[in-house]
């Protein structure tokens, strides 16, 4: 059992705190947002993440997990403090480090005994050294500490499983002993461990996210070519994925990547490269292709509606940036909805969990209770998040409800042939000449 303080109760913080508590440690989770902490004390989660609420409840009841706004309370017994605060994009694409700086400064002011400071927030290469400097300068009197970078690789929607069954854990520090101590916290998971220097560790995180984003943009570019040449990108990806050197993951063509990580991290890495005098051509292309993918879907919708969406009702299934999350940050669905609304379309949408978050972001969007209400009287139906519940809809009923039986499958969840047999005008992403080997558009 170790005493661990976790700063920040967003995705990374909540999952880190709760999973470490579940592994038998005593955790104090600190957040400066009083409202959030108050709600957490009442069992209300700040985020939607499958399985989190039950795990929090179990560990709070077992007195292994506490929530507070007080750094003093958090650091009182702590041997480790995990910084898990947000690093949003600043205007120029550089990561904004104000929350990391504030956390490091307060840790320095409030720590009373030797401490290992672990950085889990995604931070530009070199931030570990900078964090150490901030702490050193802000300490009222010198107390021993070490900074360790431990990047987080969890995915929203499967964050707990990702924490408990990681592909690897990475630790970076100038102090090897400190890195090993942090690595020991993860021993119960039995995962592969990479111990390295702090800058390399920070870079591993950026390079991993950028590589996955590159795979997505790659397959999206291929999807556009497939549409021109009459091939089906889903089959192309399947055929490629069996090659062990390629593998099947992150090759789903669709509306492009969104969320709080890929867009921000690719931009930040490109920015780091630029600042240091190199020209990040591939990273720029990855971002450009991702933007184009959204535009391309918008254009496809307009084309299917006789080149004008003005006054048309567009039914949207899915608003979250991916399934199993209520997160709408940089969601392709929202970009596409905004563009179409600017062109005069009326958007009617349904998402199993993200609708509450959309209300402030897009106040004029009509939100309805279920997929059938979306289809009712709509001129076209568009799938933008591949929630499971959209995969088994009664499509005969959907077709009857629609004004026109036009279906744009922005995540390729349906079989083109089945949809055509049901009488839909079906368009997926990169599915050849409408998936039939004959040009139909
Ligand atoms: C990602 C990384 O996977 C994770 O390791 C890191 O810690 C944070 O960023 P996350 O943003 O939660 O996780 O989602 P992920 O499942 O990776 O998907 C990101 C985006 O890519 C989504 O918008 C998803 O729809 C899109 N995507 C993913 C595709 O378009 N095609 C794919 O094949 C895979």
Ligand 1 atom with the shortest distance to the CA of 249? 33
Domain boundaries, the chain: 3-196, 209-427
User: Of 5, 19, 84, 261, which is the active-site residue?
Assistant: 261
Over residues 152-166, the pLDDT tens digits come to 999 999 999 999 999
Pocket lining: 322 vs ligand 1, CB cutoff 6 Å: yes
Ligand 1 atom with the shortest distance to the CA of 213? 21
Atom 7 (ligand 1) nearest CA: 153
Atom 15 (ligand 1) nearest CA: 155
Over residues 339-369, the pLDDT tens digits come to 999 999 999 999 999 999 999 999 999 999 9
Q: What is the mean pLDDT of residues 231-247?
A: 97
For residue 439, what pLDDT is reported?
47
Ligand 1 atom with the shortest distance to the CA of 122? 7
CA of 259 to the centre of ligand 1 (A): 7
Is the Cβ–Cβ distance between 351 and 318 less than 8 Å? yes
Pocket lining: 289 vs ligand 1, CB cutoff 6 Å: no
Atom 13 (ligand 1) nearest CA: 155
Q: Give the span between the Cα atoms of 411 and 421, in whole angstroms.
A: 20
For residue 434, what pLDDT is reported?
56
Check for a shared fold between 3-196 and 209-427: yes
Q: Give the span between the Cα atoms of 55 and 33, in whole angstroms.
A: 22
For residue 90, what pLDDT is reported?
79
Pocket lining: 252 vs ligand 1, CB cutoff 6 Å: yes
Is the Cβ–Cβ distance between 240 and 246 less than 8 Å? yes
**Token pair for residue 168?**
């690897």
CA of 440 to the centre of ligand 1 (A): 32
Pocket lining: 261 vs ligand 1, CB cutoff 6 Å: yes
Is the Cβ–Cβ distance between 40 and 17 less than 8 Å? no
Ligand 1 atom with the shortest distance to the CA of 265? 9
Pocket lining: 333 vs ligand 1, CB cutoff 6 Å: no
Pocket lining: 410 vs ligand 1, CB cutoff 6 Å: no
* Alpha-carbon Rg for the chain in angstroms: 24
CA of 214 to the centre of ligand 1 (A): 11
pLDDT at 141 over 80: yes
pLDDT at 440 over 70: no
Q: Give the span between the Cα atoms of 335 and 327, in whole angstroms.
A: 14
Residue 131: closest CA among 150, 113, 112: 150
Over residues 286-301, the pLDDT tens digits come to 999 999 999 999 999 9
Atom 31 (ligand 1) nearest CA: 252
For a ligand 1 pocket test, name from 16, 49, 216, 327 the mutation site with the most ligand atoms within 8 angstroms of its C-beta. Answer: 216
Q: In percent, how much of the chain has pLDDT > 70? A: 98
Pick the range with the lowest mean pLDDT from 9-18, 120-129, 212-221, 359-368. Answer: 120-129
* Mutual angle of helices 262-275 and 198-229, in 10-degree steps: 110
Residue 226 among the catalytic residues: no
Q: Give the span between the Cα atoms of 163 and 22, in whole angstroms.
A: 11
Q: What is the mean pLDDT of residues 52-81?
A: 97
Give the 3-state secondary structure of the chain. Answer: CCEEEEECCCHHHHHHHHHHHHCCCEEEEECCCHHHHHHHHCCCCCCCCCCHHHHHHHHHHCCCEEEECCHHHHHCCCCEEEECCCCCECCCCCECCHHHHHHHHHHHHHCCCCEEEEECCCCCCCHHHHHHHHHHHHCCCCCCEEEEECCCCCCCCCHHHHHHCCCEEEEECCCHHHHHHHHHHCHHHCCEEEEECHHHHHHHHHHHHHHHHHHHHHHHHHHHHHHHHCCEHHHHHHHHHCCCCCCCCCCCCCCCCCCCCHHHHHHHHHHHHHHCCCCCHHHHHHHHHHHHHHHHHHHHHHHHCCCCCCCCEEEEECCCCCCCCCCCCCCHHHHHHHHHHHCCCEEEEECCCCHHHHHHHCCCCEECCCHHHHHCCCCEEEECCCCHHHCCCCHHHHHHHCCCCEEEECCCCCCHHHHHHCCCEEECCCECCCCCCCCCC
pLDDT at 43 over 50: yes
Over residues 302-347, the pLDDT tens digits come to 999 999 999 999 999 999 999 999 999 999 999 999 999 999 999 9
Residue 3: closest CA among 185, 141, 222: 185
| Residues belonging to the chain | 441
Tell me the CATH architecture of domain 209-427: 3-Layer(aba) Sandwich (3.40)
> 3-196 in CATH: which number?
3.40.50.720
For residue 438, what pLDDT is reported?
45
């Amino acid at each position: 059992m170790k005493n661990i303080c976790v700063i920040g109760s967003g995705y990374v913080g909540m999952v880190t705190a709760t999973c470490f508590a579940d592994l038998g440690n005593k955790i104090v989770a600190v957040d400066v947002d009083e409202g959030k902490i108050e709600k957490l004390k009442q069992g209300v989660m700040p985020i939607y993440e499958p399985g989190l609420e039950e795990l929090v409840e179990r560990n709070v009841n077992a007195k292994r997990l506490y929530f507070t706004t007080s750094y003093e309370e958090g650091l009182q017994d702590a041997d480790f403090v995990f910084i898990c605060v947000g690093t949003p994009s600043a205007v120029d694409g550089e990561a904004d480090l104000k929350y990391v700086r504030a956390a490091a400064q307060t840790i320095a002011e409030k720590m009373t005994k030797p401490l290992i400071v672990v950085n889990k927030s995604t931070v530009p290469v070199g931030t570990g050294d900078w964090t150490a400097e901030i702490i050193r300068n802000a300490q009222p009197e010198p107390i021993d500490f070490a900074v360790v970078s431990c990047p987080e690789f969890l995915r929203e929607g499967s964050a707990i499983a990702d924490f408990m069954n990681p592909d690897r854990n990475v630790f970076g520090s100038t102090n090897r002993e400190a890195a090993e101590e942090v690595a020991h916290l993860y021993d119960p998971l039995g995962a592969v461990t990479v111990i390295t220097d702090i800058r390399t560790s920070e870079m591993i995180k950026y390079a991993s996210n950028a590589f996955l984003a590159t795979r997505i943009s790659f397959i999206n570019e291929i999807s556009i070519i497939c549409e021109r040449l009459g091939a089906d990108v889903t089959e192309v990806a399947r055929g490629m994925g069996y090659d062990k050197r390629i593998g099947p993951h992150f090759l789903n063509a669709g509306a492009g990547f969104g969320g709080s990580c890929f867009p921000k991290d690719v931009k930040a890495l490109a920015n780091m490269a630029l600042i240091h005098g190199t020209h990040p051509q591939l990273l720029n292309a990855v971002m450009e292709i991702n933007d184009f993918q959204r535009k391309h879907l918008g254009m496809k919708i307009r084309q299917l509606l006789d080149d004008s969406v003005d006054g048309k009702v567009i039914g949207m299934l899915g608003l979250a940036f991916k399934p199993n999350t209520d997160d709408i940050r940089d969601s392709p669905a929202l970009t596409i909805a905004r563009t179409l609304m600017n062109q005069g379309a009326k958007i009617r949408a349904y998402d199993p969990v993200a609708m509450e978050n959309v209300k402030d972001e897009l106040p004029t969007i009509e939100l309805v209770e279920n997929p059938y209400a979306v289809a009712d009287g709509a001129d076209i139906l568009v799938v933008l998040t591949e929630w499971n519940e959209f995969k088994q809809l009664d499509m005969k009923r959907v077709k009857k409800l629609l004004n026109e039986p036009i279906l744009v499958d922005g995540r390729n969840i349906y079989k083109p042939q089945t949809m055509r047999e049901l009488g839909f005008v079906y368009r997926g992403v990169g599915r050849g000449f409408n998936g039939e080997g004959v040009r139909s558009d």
